[in-house]
C-alpha cells in the first residue's frame, strides 16, 4: 500500500454567497482514513474544472441544500425545498469532468441525491420523518437494511445498521447504471452504487459524524481513501 496520502476534492456549501462552509466532521473522516481533504471553490471555468479533475485523486460530494428539481425535469413543488444555483452549476460541471476518469467518487446526503440526478435519476422533493433535529447528530435513530452482494454490504459487513438521518429528500427513480444498496424501514433509499465503477458510492445518512465510534462508518471512508491511492 502506498504511503502517499491521496488528495480528496470536497464540494462545499457557501454562506452569504462568498464564504466556504464545510463541517469539521467531513475533514476528520477523510484525515482519519488517510486522505488530505481540500474544499473546492465553486466555479464553472473550464480550465479550473479541468485542473480539479486532473489534480485530485478522489471526489467527495458532501451535504447541503437541495438539488434544483429543474435538473430532473420538475418544478419546485416540495415543502421546504432550498436550492443553490451556483453550487448546482459547479457540481454538474465537476462531475462531467470526472465521470469517465474512473477516479473514486463518494456522496453523502445531498451528495447521493446529486449523483443520482447527475446520472439521470430523480428525487422525492419532500418526505416526512427523516429529519431528526434536535437529536444529537451522533445518535443513530433508524435502521437500514443493506442488501447482499453489494460493495456497501462488503464494507459494513452487516445486514442491519443503525444510522442518523438529516434529510427531507431522497432518491425516487434510480439512475441508469446505478443500483440501490440499502433502504430504511419505510422503503426510503438510503444507499446506492455503480457496480461497474472502481468506486462510486452514495449514502443518505451522515457517517462522518460518528466514524470514530462506529466501525461500519469508518469502513466507508477507509475504502474510499484506499481506492484513491
| Contact present, 18 and 12 (Cβ < 8 Å) | no
Q: What is the bridge-based pairing of β-strands 36-39 and 7-11? A: parallel
Query: What whole-number distance in Å separates Cα of residue 175 and Cα of residue 191?
Result: 13
Place 18 in a pLDDT band, splitting at 50, 70 and 90: confident
Minimal CA–CA distance to 130: which of 138, 121, 141? Answer: 141
Tell how many helices (H) and how many strands (E) occur in the chain. Answer: 6, 13
What is the pLDDT, as a whole number, of residue 16? 79
198-216 average pLDDT score: 97
CA dihedral of 182, 184, 187, 193, whole degrees rounded to 10: -20
Active-site residue flag, 206: yes
Tell me, yes or no, if 208 is annotated catalytic: yes
Residue-level pLDDT at 1: 52
Pairing between strand 7-11 and 58-61? parallel
DSSP for residue 83: B
Burial class (CB in 10 A: 0-12, 13-18, 19+), 128: exposed
pLDDT of residue 83: 96
State which H helix or E strand residue 15 sits in.
strand 13-15
DSSP 131: B
**Residue 134 confidence (pLDDT):** 81
Which pLDDT score is estimated for 202? 98
Pick the closest to residue 152 from 81, 219, 100, 212 (CA basis).
219
What's the burial of 213, exposed, middle or buried (CB within 10 Å: 0-12/13-18/19+)? exposed
pLDDT digits (tens, 9 = 90+) for 31-87: 999 999 999 999 999 999 999 999 999 999 999 999 999 999 999 999 999 999 999
Query: Which one is catalytic: 109, 130, 168, 222?
Result: 109
Residue 109 falls in the annotated catalytic set = yes
Distance between CA 223 and CA 229 in Å, rounded?
10
As a whole number of angstroms, the distance between CA 162 and CA 104 comes to: 25
Q: Which is the catalytic residue, given 130, 167, 168, 206?
A: 206
Q: What is the DSSP letter of 109?
A: T
pLDDT of residue 40: 96
Average pLDDT over residues 178-200: 98
Work out the pLDDT band at 224, boundaries 50, 70, 90: very high
Give pLDDT tens digits for 88-138.
999 999 999 999 999 999 999 999 999 999 999 999 999 999 999 888 899
Determine the average pLDDT of the residues in 10-39: 93
DSSP secondary structure code for residue 150 in this structure: S
Residue 2: per-residue pLDDT: 60
| Domain spans, the chain | 7-228
Catalytic: which of 208, 211, 222, 228? 208
Q: So what's the pLDDT on residue 15?
A: 85
pLDDT tens for residues 172-181?
999 999 999 9
Residue 4 has pLDDT above 90, yes or no: no
7-228: CATH class: alpha beta
**Which letter does DSSP use for residue 63 in this model?**
-
At 127-159, the pLDDT tens digits run 999 999 888 899 999 999 999 999 999 999 999
DSSP label of 67 = P
CA–CA separation, 186 and 208 (whole Å): 23
Amino acid at each position: 500500500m502506498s504511503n502517499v496520502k491521496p488528495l480528496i476534492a470536497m464540494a462545499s456549501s457557501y454562506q452569504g454567497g462568498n464564504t466556504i462552509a464545510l463541517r469539521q466532521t467531513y475533514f476528520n473522516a477523510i484525515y482519519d482514513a488517510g486522505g488530505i481533504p481540500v474544499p473546492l471553490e465553486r466555479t464553472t471555468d473550464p480550465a479550473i474544472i479541468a485542473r480539479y479533475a486532473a489534480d485530485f485523486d478522489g471526489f467527495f460530494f458532501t451535504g447541503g441544500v437541495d438539488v434544483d428539481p429543474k435538473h430532473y425535469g420538475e418544478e419546485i413543488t416540495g415543502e421546504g425545498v432550498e436550492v443553490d444555483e451556483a453550487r448546482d452549476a459547479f457540481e454538474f460541471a465537476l462531475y462531467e469532468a470526472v465521470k469517465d476518469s474512473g477516479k473514486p467518487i463518494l456522496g453523502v446526503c445531498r451528495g447521493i441525491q446529486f449523483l443520482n440526478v447527475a446520472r439521470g435519476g430523480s428525487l422525492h422533493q419532500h418526505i416526512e420523518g427523516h429529519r431528526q433535529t434536535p437529536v444529537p447528530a451522533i445518535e443513530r435513530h433508524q435502521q437500514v437494511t443493506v442488501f447482499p452482494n453489494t460493495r456497501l454490504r462488503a464494507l459494513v459487513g452487516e445486514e442491519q445498521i443503525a444510522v442518523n438521518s438529516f434529510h427531507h429528500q431522497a432518491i425516487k427513480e434510480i439512475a441508469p447504471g446505478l443500483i440501490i444498496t440499502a433502504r430504511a424501514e419505510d422503503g426510503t433509499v438510503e444507499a446506492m452504487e455503480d457496480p461497474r465503477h472502481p468506486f462510486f458510492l452514495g449514502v443518505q445518512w451522515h457517517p462522518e459524524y460518528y466514524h470514530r465510534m462506529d466501525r461500519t462508518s469508518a469502513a466507508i471512508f477507509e475504502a474510499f481513501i484506499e481506492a484513491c491511492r
